[in-house]
Amino acid sequence: MKLEALRIPKPLRGFASEAELFDLVLDGDRVASVAPSARQDSARGIVLSACVDAHAHIDKNYTVQDVGAAQGNLFAAIERMNGHRAGWTAESLRPRMERALEDAWRSGTRALRTHLDWVQPEAPVSLAVFESLREAWRGRVELQFVSLTPLDLFADAEAGERIAREVARAGGALGAFVYRNEALLPKLDRVFELAHKHGLSLDFHVDEGLDADASGLRAIAQLVRARGFAGRVVCGHACSLSVQDDAVAHETLALCAGAGLHLVALPTTNLYLQGAWDRTPVPRGITRIREAAARGLRASLATDNVQDAFYPYGSYDLVETFGLGVQVAHLAPALDWIDSITLAPARALGLAWDGRIAAGCPADLVVLAATDEHELIDPRGRRRSVIRAGRILEHTA
């Protein structure tokens, strides 16, 4: 298969060239060659490496009609989902989780990391369903999971050990919900200790609110450095960073960059959930993406919640999520930030392919109808052909 006169965003080029448009030849499941196109005056589209979703919740999704939307109230959403979770069974979970994967697959996602609610020492019913789906979807969507546990539960040494042992058995990452906890550092240190003992990476929900005194992100960065966990820790949300004094926020970001920490921003959920609902919401919940990038910390943009109490809308279309992130965080030129749904999350998840396009790379691509950055957010520009293992999927967006 030959793809002609396509724009490859500079962050995705695994080669050096001053050309604007390129022809790609696919041979089987690989890109055989990438060469400057003879047509440099008229782009036929933009080609991306298939997307990577670094933060999702496929156990919660598609439940909003049962629980309702918790407008502007994070802890109300948590309470509603706690009540709904009590009735979860493998039979009720699997269709919702499969629906999410089908949506992601058709939209052009090649890898997805989901957080699984894990609020008791014993493994949740969702874990067995996830393990089954991970095998069933092998070769289509590479699946990872994180145990999403309230940080305070790790104060119980036996409970923490049991969780970490089961996460290690199932090949996941150890996670926690961190927000203005008492005895924050000792509890976080316990999580790091368990991760070290069981050879686990870490992935935190941290500072998901607009309280300027939230210091979870800073504490995690300090522990990453102290315990030598560079490159093994992901932090999602970090909304409080947006309302802290510039000096404090910049110092925290410098610590994060120096620690090799990965940052994930979730524009849909946090724009909906953070801020007032009795008036126009100011400020908003997006973290400091541009300031992080200025320190060499390239954040990912990810899906987070879809049609549940936390966010009642949405889908698993990362290109659409990217478009929202471009607007709310002023990410311009937009194509210079396309690594936020490709390279940055691929590295955060430790994938074998980082997403750079070059001869020999996997033929897992998304060809957008957009011909320049200004059409990326246009519904027509987001139309796409999804190519997996060198073949075009039918019925794509």
Task: Kindly report, residue by residue over 343-393, the tens digit of the pLDDT.
Answer: 999 999 999 999 999 999 999 999 999 999 999 989 999 999 999 999 999
Where does the pLDDT of residue 333 fall: very low under 50, low under 70, confident under 90, or very high at 90 and above? very high
Question: Helices 157-170 and 125-136, interaxial angle, to 10°?
Answer: 20
pLDDT tens digits along 6-44: 999 999 999 999 999 999 999 999 999 999 999 898 999
> What is 2-49+355-392's CATH number, 3.50.50.100, 3.90.550.10, 2.30.40.10, 1.10.10.10?
2.30.40.10
**Per-residue pLDDT at 397:** 56
Where do you find CATH 2.30.40.10 in the chain? Answer: 2-49+355-392
Instruction: List pLDDT tens digits, range 94-143.
Output: 999 999 999 999 999 999 999 999 999 999 999 999 999 999 999 999 99
Q: What tokens were used for 48?
A: 């991306």
Residue with tokens 């990872």: 144
Please give the angle made by the CA atoms of 255, 258 and 261, to the nearest 5 degrees. Answer: 85
Q: Average pLDDT, stretch 148-174?
A: 98
Backbone φ and ψ for 183, nearest 5 degrees, come out as 50, 45
151: region left, alpha or beta (phi > 0 left; psi from -120 to 50 alpha)? alpha
Rama region for 175: left / alpha / beta (φ>0; ψ in -120 to 50; rest): beta
User: Mapped to the 3 state alphabet, what secondary structure does 231-262 carry?
Assistant: CCEEEEECHHHHHCCHHHHHHHHHHHHHHCCE
CA distance 50 to 371: 17
Tell me what pLDDT residue 396 has: 59
Give the bridge partners for 204, in sequence order: 176, 235
pLDDT score, position 394: 74
DSSP state of 294: H
Active site annotation includes 208: yes
Residue whose C-alpha is closest to residue 366's, from 376, 133, 374: 376
**pLDDT for 72:** 85
Task: Give residue 202's identity as a one-letter amino acid code.
Answer: L
Q: In what order do the strands lie in the sheet with 21-27?
A: 30-36, 21-27, 2-7, 45-49, 365-368, 384-388, 391-392
d(CA 168, CA 172): 6
Q: Is 296 left (phi over 0), alpha (psi -120 to 50) or beta?
A: left
| Helix (H), strand (E) at residue 396 | none
Amino acid, single-letter form, for residue 194: L
**What would the CATH number be for the domain defined by 51-348?**
3.20.20.140
pTM for the whole thing?
0.97
Residue 129, both tokens: 């369903």
Contact 120, 151 (CB under 8 A): no
Residues of the chain within CATH 3.20.20.140 domain(s) are 51-348
With cut-offs at 50, 70 and 90, classify the pLDDT of residue 275: confident
H/E element holding 81? helix 74-85
| C-alpha distances out from residue 225 to 151, 180, 221, 326, 366, Å | 20, 21, 6, 31, 37
Question: How many angstroms from the chain centroid is the CA of residue 195?
Answer: 21
Catalytic position from the list 208, 320, 373, 375:
208
DSSP class of 390: T
The residue assigned the tokens 């315990």 is 227
Please state the separation of Cα 101 from the chain's center in Å. 14
Confidence at 81, pLDDT banded by 50, 70, 90: very high
At residue 297 the predicted structure's pLDDT band, cuts being 50, 70 and 90, is: very high
Give 209-249 pLDDT, tens digit per residue.
999 999 999 999 999 999 999 999 999 999 999 999 999 99
Q: Contact, 234 vs 220, CB < 8 A?
A: no
Residue listed under structure tokens 């800073």: 218
pLDDT in tens, 55-78: 999 999 999 999 999 988 899 999
**Phi, psi for 49 (deg, rounded to 5):** -70, 150
What element of type H or E holds 138? none
Residue 84's identity, in one-letter code, is H
